[in-house]
Amino acid sequence: METILIIEDDRILNRGVSFALKKEGYNVISNYNISDGKVSIMENNIDFLLLDINLPDGSGLDLCEQINDKINFPIVLFTANDTDEDMIKGFEMGCDDYIAKPFSMDVLKLKINAILKISAKVEKDIFKYKDLNIDFGSRKVFVKDEEVNLTVTEYKLLELLSKNKGRAVTKEIILEKLWDSNGNYVDENTISVNIRRLRKKIEEDTKNPQYIITLFGIGYIMGD
């Protein structure tokens, strides 16, 4: 069940939207100002944010800009302003879409459903574990938001382990999956060398790894 946060100071509108979305099966959190909204974002696993632009303690646009680099959920703005300039500013601040007041509740529900479907598809191509992020689509790896440059073999190793997170990956499976450019299998020594190189690039302490754990006599596992 997705959790939708509403930050809207019009209490009648807030209650109306909340009621409609709960009927759709969503978990809904309602706030009426930016301060309470920030607390809700920190304390809950939010999947979607409906955010009013004009709030009693500040601008929703400013909040959108502040949290945009720290969150991974869609943001739709409630606005009474529908000029091109206002829309452009909203998108520049990091929102995903906007809906102008007054609006149809059916249109709002369709918009939310459509954006969540797109978001779910994107999430399938993203792996997140602690400070490690892997974008399978672009084949980019980030640790603490810093991009890490990997060789092709190192990336294949990391991708294999991450897609089997929590499951032991034997050396035999790694040997089967990792091919070099000439179509030859890599050997066990090559696996060990690339594991060491990979750890140097993604682990904070290679002697006490938190991502790639050795299972002696078996192989490796991502995480616990």
Q: Which band of pLDDT confidence, cut at 50, 70 and 90, is reported for residue 65?
A: confident
Q: Find, among 96, 5, 2, 7, the residue nearest to 51 by Cα.
A: 7
| pLDDT average, residue stretch 204-222 | 93
Q: What is the pLDDT of residues 131-183, one digit of tens each?
A: 898 988 788 899 988 999 998 888 889 999 998 888 899 988 888 777 554 44
What predicted TM-score, i.e. pTM, was given to this entire model? 0.57
Q: What Å distances lie between residue 70 and 50, 54, 143, 145, CA to CA?
A: 17, 22, 14, 10
| pLDDT average, residue stretch 84-97 | 79
Do 216 and 203 meet the contact criterion of CB atoms below 8 Å apart? no
How many other CB atoms sit within 10 Å of the CB of residue 1? Answer: 7
* pLDDT above 90 (res 119): no
Q: In terms of CATH architecture, what is 3-124?
A: 3-Layer(aba) Sandwich (3.40)
Q: In terms of CATH architecture, what is 127-222?
A: Orthogonal Bundle (1.10)
Q: Give the domain ranges of the chain.
A: 3-124, 127-222
Consecutive H or E run containing 157: helix 152-162
